[in-house]
Amino acid sequence: MSAVHGIITHQTNRPIDYLYRLSLKALITNTNGDILVVKETGRHHYDLPGGGMDHGEDFRQALARELAEEVSLSGKFSYQIIDIDQPAYLAEHNFWQVRLVFAVSQSGGHYAPGIDGDEIAWLPLNYFERSKHEVERRIVRYWHAAFKKQVVVQRHK
């Protein structure tokens, strides 16, 4: 094995870099069933709050940090994985990413834009059903996965 972290040397010509960025997203709903979303600078669409997992973090630590940065979440919360997207190549960043989506709940949580979230909103499910942005339409699948209590793995088409 190679001494470089994440690189394994093989005696074949296949790619040897096995690292993927893990993106953790949080599906948070209010008592009306609306979904908490964030819009970041330079983006023209909403997405679930969350982001990349840093080296050495576990899921709870990564979710807590990302949710504090984007929607000012603080305190205790519960979470459960509800969806996993197929790996996707993000050309603008030149890396492969796997998105893990968690249902997150917190009693009496107060949310506001954090240091990395420029705008937050509580939007109904039907907003995402008719969206022109694929990232927003995915939220419908995540919502169904959360409320059917099953993990859904995105299939290639």
Domain CATH number, residue 66? 3.90.79.10
Residue 35 lies in a domain: yes
Q: Which domain holds residue 82?
A: 21-153
By three-state DSSP, how is residue 157 classified? coil
What global pTM score does this model have? Answer: 0.82
98: in domain: yes
| pLDDT digits 0-9 by tens, 104-155 | 999 888 899 988 878 999 999 999 999 999 999 999 999 998 887 554 555 4
Terminal Cα-to-Cα distance of the chain (whole angstroms): 35
The number of distinct structural domains making up the chain is: 1
115: in domain = yes
pLDDT in tens, 41-98: 788 899 999 999 998 899 999 999 999 999 999 999 999 999 999 999 888 878 889 9
* Residue 13: inside a domain: no
The token pair at 84 is 């996993």
Angle at the Cα of 79 from the Cα atoms of 29 and 40, rounded to 5 degrees: 55
Residue 18 pLDDT exceeds 90: no
